[in-house]
Amino acid sequence: MRVVEMSNIGPGPFCGMLLADMGAQVLRVARLSTTDLGFDIEPRFDLLNRGKQAVAIDLKSADGIETVKRLIASADILIEGFRPGVMERLGLGPDVCLGISPALVFGRLTGWGQSGAYAQMAGHDINYIALSGALAAIGDPGGAPVPPLNLVGDFAAGSLYLAMGLLAALHASRASGKGQVIDGAMLDGAVSLMTMHLGYRQAGIWSNTRGSNSVDGGSPFYTTYPTSDGKFMAVGAVEARFYRIMLDILGLADADLPRQNDQSRWGELRAAIAGVFATKTRAEWTALFDGTDACVSPILDMDEMKDHPVVRERALLVETDGVVGPAPAPRFAQTPGAVRHGTLDPAVSSREALKAWGIPEATIATLAEAGIIPAGPDTSG
């Protein structure tokens, strides 16, 4: 499977990375002036672009656009994350690209979608999840909403939804010979992610008050507790049987406590549980809960996570070019994914990438001489 990815930041590259991890041949088309990241970072640390080929092209030139069209002609999927209308102004809109390759799946990833009052407005993850209802639900009662990194809008609602849409559309394209456009909007995906909570809200079992519900940190059995050494444990003992195991390990008697689901006394129950967690270190509690069904785990930072026995046992991290990143997920029994190489610098790799995609060496040399692609090393010999 061949994918042309019009380079951008964040969710578009992550979507392309997922496909590359699964074996797709992904070509990242970067701007000639190259810094697509929005900040300075050594290419090998730019994990979102691992496993991809990379070319930089002057998209302001006619020959540059013609080169991209030639790449699209042999692609199964195109990914772009520009504001609506940018690809059209470049002369690479859906009508043009589907005219070149009628079976092409044209994936568009934006915050607000290709249509609507906000379509041309700038935004980021925090803005999209703000309108979805998700951000308002995250945080302590009486406190400000807390952004959950940029995981929900960019990567879950954006990258993952687009990847699912691309693969579904590719399946349809291979059956019918007809491609289509995927309008992947992070706002759409974020609202979709709220499916369960919207149902709970209408059923009257979810409050709009942050930190007051069963799985938003409001309940004493689905929250975090500090330990004696200033670290934290995560508790997810929702089901009664798991909750009883947790109480047993804590040395608390259920009969002496408020009932688990008596929300009016959750404050008392939380205080009792917190008092016990504060008596031991995180390491001590981890040893006690490890291997049980209490649903209690240590809260690790990114550095600590690397050394956790389960992370090592499952080989969840791989090293490429001296940089550690996540292993491909999910796992396939017959066709496992792999990180084939680290992130390539298009200033160096452009010639080789174009050659691999069938552009004649004489054409590549002409583009380099004209400054439409980086000069880079000449691999023609």
The Cα–Cα gap between 171 and 334 comes to 19
CA distances from 65 to 3, 58, 91, 111, 198 (A): 17, 8, 7, 25, 45
Answer whether 376's CB lies under 8 Å from 345's CB: no
CA distances from 135 to 63, 74, 157, 185, 256 (A): 45, 41, 13, 17, 36
Q: Say whether 329 sits in a helix, a strand or coil.
A: coil
DSSP conformation class of 314: T
Please list, residue by residue across 229-241, b when 16 or more beta carbons sit within 10 angstroms of its beta carbon and e when fewer do.
Answer: eebbbebbbeeee
The Cα–Cα gap between 140 and 231 comes to 18
Q: Which long-range contacts (CB under 8 A, 24 or more apart) does 137-140 make?
A: 137/197, 137/208, 137/210, 137/213, 137/216, 138/210, 138/216, 139/210, 139/211, 140/210, 140/211, 140/217
Identified catalytic residue from 46, 125, 154, 345? 154
DSSP conformation class of 328: P
Identified catalytic residue from 124, 140, 183, 197? 124
The Cα–Cα gap between 47 and 324 comes to 9
Answer whether 30's CB lies under 8 Å from 7's CB: yes
The Cα–Cα gap between 141 and 135 comes to 13
Q: What are 110's strand-pairing partners?
A: 185
Please list, residue by residue across 299-324, b when 16 or more beta carbons sit within 10 angstroms of its beta carbon and e when fewer do.
Answer: ebeeeeeeeeeebeeeeeeeebeebe
Respond yes or no: is residue 124 known to be catalytic: yes
Respond yes or no: is residue 63 known to be catalytic: no
Query: Alpha-carbon Rg of the chain, whole angstroms?
Result: 25
Show which residues are catalytic: 124, 154
